[in-house]
Structure 1
Amino acid sequence: MLALAAFFSGAALRICDGLLPRLAADFGITAGTAGQVVLTFAIAYGVSQLVFGPLGDRYGKALVVCCALFGCAGAALACAFAGGFDMLLRLRVLWGIAAGGVIPLAIAWIGDAVPYEERQATLARLLLGTLSGMSAGQLGGGLFADSPLGWRGAFGALCAGYVVIAVMLLARLRSMPSAPPAQGGRLAFFPQLAAVAAIPWARLVVGAALLEGVFLIGALAFLPSYLHQRFGIPLSAAGALVALYAVGGLLYAMAAKPIVRRLGERRMVLHGGWIVGAGFAAWAVAPAAWWAGPIALVVGFGTYMFHNTLQTHATQMAPAMRGSGMALFAFCLFLGQAIGVWMAGASFDRFGALPLLLLPAVALPLTGWGFSAALRRRAGAAAA
């Protein structure tokens, strides 16, 4: 049930990537300016974690996820009827706020219910839902962009999906186990977040998530626009090629258990960082549009070797306040995405796509190497 919720949240995260040129044409703005629909969503999504995490700890994670899904449905419907770009941006803020209560709290619920040694494989199954949604969102964004329904049809379709899964989850709430609620009133929210941030290992994990958001997720938002501009292919085709990124993640999710057993966490983040960096370099020099698809497939696989390891450690940063821990992790990830989208939009409008691709090609392998080294030091300290 939570994987279905993650499907529609994943679709919402990526639906606008393929819609950016259509939004630019409909509102008479540049593609970089249209990217603000991604930026505002990411900022709202990240900031709302600081509320949803403690709420999930206090009132039950599954209940808060259900309420957030109904909120997403209302916001998506309102976006479909937006009368102008400024109104759309304001409504995307509301959508981002509501969406912040879905995937991170689903991950935290798994952290409560599943032992650590089984958690990465279980999170990979949730990842199947998220990545299927991201793939559908990127492909659907391109298809809607080339259709008469446009971005209004895309948002309306997501609204319908949110309503269905919210009603289904509501019917299952009583049978879903939950952790004991955290104690304290509203003023305890910020002390809970501060307590997580005071843990040195937690600061390192969320710092790595911040860098991932800046250099990976932000750049990916403009990849369909880059392919459309460089090779002159339709937006639907560009969206379909980039959607193979999520398929690569799906392949990782299906093979996660033997990969974790064979490589171990340290080599997974190291290899994942190098694979993703090499993929961005390959996009920059690809001689034809069709190369983008296989590259996206490999980059998606490498991304989730790295990201799923980070995410697993995030569930264990503060077991007594798992919702707050995941809130801080998601906040930093999407704050990084917001920074990355802003940087990528400025680069795309002023300097073209080359800096957009080459900076991640260098930064992401370094991030993987750094976190791998931190895991090695942590294992050595534990052994001592």
Structure 2
Amino acid sequence: MTPTDPEAQSIRRLIAMFALTGFATSLIIRVTDPLVAVIADDLTTPVGTVALLASSFALPFALIQPLLGPVGDALGKRRVILVCQVLLTLLVAAAAMAPDFTTLLIFRALAGAAAGGTMPLTLAVFGDEVPLARRQVAIGRFLVFTIIGGVAGGALAAVVEPLFGWRGVLWICAGFSAMASCVRLWSQLRAPPAPTQSFQPVMALQRYVGLFRLPAARVLYAAVAIEGGLVFGAFPHFAPLLAARGLGGTTEAGLSLAAFGCGGFIYAAIVAQVLRLMGQANMVRLGGFLAFLALLGMALAWSAAIFIGCALLLGTGFFMIHNTIQVRASEISPTARASGLAMHSFSFFIGQTAGPALMGVALALLGSTLAFIWVAAALLALGWWLSVTGPGTKKEHGG
């Protein structure tokens, strides 16, 4: 994309317009993962129970998708994003004031439902407004801001929690979401009114039935659910696992999550070049291999530095796989893109919901070393499967 290219300028404006939305929402999604131990201690709740905060956010995020996708198609994606961002701000602030774990869990779950109307519909907006030939690079660059949010979530927990406690961390998250709400409102007031149509549940249901009749849709939704479960299922267990090995605790877990996000920076920096040189199919295969090496390293890590370094590699491989699935999902149903991407997010967060519990079972039965090796092998297989079950030529998906 050249600086004088009008289409490139339009894409850059689109990325800038949604940057804070991506940052704030991603900040909120992952911020409680490294806080599990301190929340458990403060609210006198078992660590295993507090680890369910990840699932309590992911499950409502997933379950709201089949509703919000068609609503976005009918009432306007940008309008729905604004309403959900405002609700997300209020609910995170309420969670920061929760007097007990049950209340915290409820507000965290409601916040997950509100967040479900921000990120997936934002990707649908990109699908509507960015040509396919430039979409993977454009979404990859937008992902930089979501990655920064994920990195900041881990870093914020590691740095701010010792000073202001976990409640202070959540208040800062609410502040960023409030800023995103203001940007979205300003953009909405300046834009011409979006066309609307009535929301028809029967037609929405028929649309979903049609989606699942498409072989490509079934492959992508299954793949993203598996990916979400394998990668994110381990995150809430980082702090207890590091502590058990004598390698650290909340701070090291937060730094590991930050390093995972930094792997996304590496991906965003190289995605255009990798697509030109390798094509999409080989890139997703490479992503699976990098994730395999990373998790194998985590399984055998004897120092916190090695564990954190492997998290960086894991992030790079993950985004190679995940961004490819996102781009393919954006083309499943161009006439009902919000619905198609809503089902993509539904599948992804269903995987994230089941992941922590399944990883907990694997750790109990196999021990940390074998559990991480099993996840490594599964991600290697997933990357290979995706590379042979869909389009991915350099010509089709180059930058």
- Find out whether 1:100 has 2:116 as its counterpart: yes
Counterpart position of 2:11 = none
* Cα deviations by residue, 1:208-243 (Å, 9 ceiling, x for unpaired): 001101111111332233223323424223312331
Equivalent-residue separation in structure 1 for 2:118 and 2:34 (angstroms): 23
Counterpart position of 1:60 = 76
The equivalent position to 2:132 in structure 1, one of 104, 116, 121, is 116
Equivalent-residue separation in structure 1 for 2:366 and 2:102 (angstroms): 26
User: Contact 1:219 / 1:341 at 8 angstroms: preserved in 2?
Assistant: yes
The equivalent position to 1:262 in structure 2, one of 269, 277, 300, is 277
Counterpart position of 2:334 = 319
Equivalent-residue separation in structure 2 for 1:160 and 1:17 (angstroms): 19
Compared with structure 1, are the counterparts of its residues 267 and 24 closer, same or farther at alpha carbon in structure 2 (3 Å cutoff)? same
Give the SS at the match of 2:117: coil
Displacement of 1:339: 0.8
Counterpart position of 1:88 = 104
Counterpart position of 2:240 = 225
Give the SS at the match of 2:64: helix
The equivalent position to 1:302 in structure 2, one of 280, 293, 317, is 317
User: Contact 1:228 / 1:238 at 8 angstroms: preserved in 2?
Assistant: no
The equivalent position to 1:237 in structure 2, one of 205, 227, 252, is 252
Moved more, 346-355 or 28-37: 346-355
Give the SS at the match of 1:18: helix
Amino acid at match of 1:59: L
The equivalent position to 2:90 in structure 1, one of 74, 77, 95, is 74
- Find out whether 1:7 has 2:26 as its counterpart: no
Equivalent-residue separation in structure 1 for 2:370 and 2:164 (angstroms): 33
Equivalent-residue separation in structure 1 for 2:357 and 2:121 (angstroms): 27
Equivalent-residue separation in structure 2 for 1:295 and 1:39 (angstroms): 24
How do 1:134-283 and structure 2 match up within 5 A? 134-145=150-161, 147-176=162-191, 181=196, 185-283=200-298
Equivalent-residue separation in structure 2 for 1:346 and 1:88 (angstroms): 25
Moved more, 180-189 or 162-171: 180-189
Equivalent-residue separation in structure 2 for 1:364 and 1:175 (angstroms): 44
The equivalent position to 1:286 in structure 2, one of 301, 309, 314, is 301
Name stretches of at least 5 consecutive residues in structure 2 with no aligned partner: 1-16
Compared with structure 1, are the counterparts of its residues 207 and 109 closer, same or farther at alpha carbon in structure 2 (3 Å cutoff)? same
User: Contact 1:269 / 1:306 at 8 angstroms: preserved in 2?
Assistant: yes
Equivalent-residue separation in structure 2 for 1:288 and 1:3 (angstroms): 35
The equivalent position to 1:338 in structure 2, one of 326, 336, 353, is 353
Displacement of 1:164: 1.1
Compared with structure 1, are the counterparts of its residues 46 and 83 closer, same or farther at alpha carbon in structure 2 (3 Å cutoff)? same
Displacement of 1:194: 2.1
* Cα deviations by residue, 1:290-343 (Å, 9 ceiling, x for unpaired): 112221111111111111111000100000000000000000000001111111
Moved more, 329-338 or 175-184: 175-184
Counterpart position of 2:388 = 373
User: Contact 1:219 / 1:356 at 8 angstroms: preserved in 2?
Assistant: no
Counterpart position of 1:358 = 373
Equivalent-residue separation in structure 2 for 1:68 and 1:185 (angstroms): 20
Counterpart position of 1:17 = 33
User: Contact 1:215 / 1:340 at 8 angstroms: preserved in 2?
Assistant: yes
- Find out whether 1:128 has 2:144 as its counterpart: yes
User: Considering only aligned residues, what root-mean-square deviation do their CA atoms show, in Å?
Assistant: 2.1
Give the SS at the match of 1:231: coil
Compared with structure 1, are the counterparts of its residues 34 and 130 closer, same or farther at alpha carbon in structure 2 (3 Å cutoff)? same
Give the SS at the match of 1:222: helix
The equivalent position to 1:31 in structure 2, one of 43, 47, 52, is 47
Equivalent-residue separation in structure 2 for 1:318 and 1:252 (angstroms): 26
Equivalent-residue separation in structure 2 for 1:373 and 1:4 (angstroms): 35
Compared with structure 1, are the counterparts of its residues 272 and 181 closer, same or farther at alpha carbon in structure 2 (3 Å cutoff)? farther
User: Contact 2:239 / 2:249 at 8 angstroms: preserved in 1?
Assistant: no
User: Contact 2:240 / 2:249 at 8 angstroms: preserved in 1?
Assistant: no
Equivalent-residue separation in structure 2 for 1:255 and 1:178 (angstroms): 37
Moved more, 262-271 or 26-35: 26-35
Amino acid at match of 1:369: W
User: Contact 2:60 / 2:112 at 8 angstroms: preserved in 1?
Assistant: yes
Give the SS at the match of 1:375: coil
Give the SS at the match of 2:57: helix
Name stretches of at least 5 consecutive residues in structure 1 with no aligned partner: none
User: Contact 1:273 / 1:368 at 8 angstroms: preserved in 2?
Assistant: yes
Displacement of 1:181: 4.9
Provide TM-score, normalisation by structure 2: 0.89
Task: Report percent identity of matched pairs.
Answer: 29
Compared with structure 1, are the counterparts of its residues 368 and 242 closer, same or farther at alpha carbon in structure 2 (3 Å cutoff)? same
Equivalent-residue separation in structure 2 for 1:344 and 1:228 (angstroms): 17
Counterpart position of 2:4 = none
Equivalent-residue separation in structure 2 for 1:49 and 1:56 (angstroms): 10
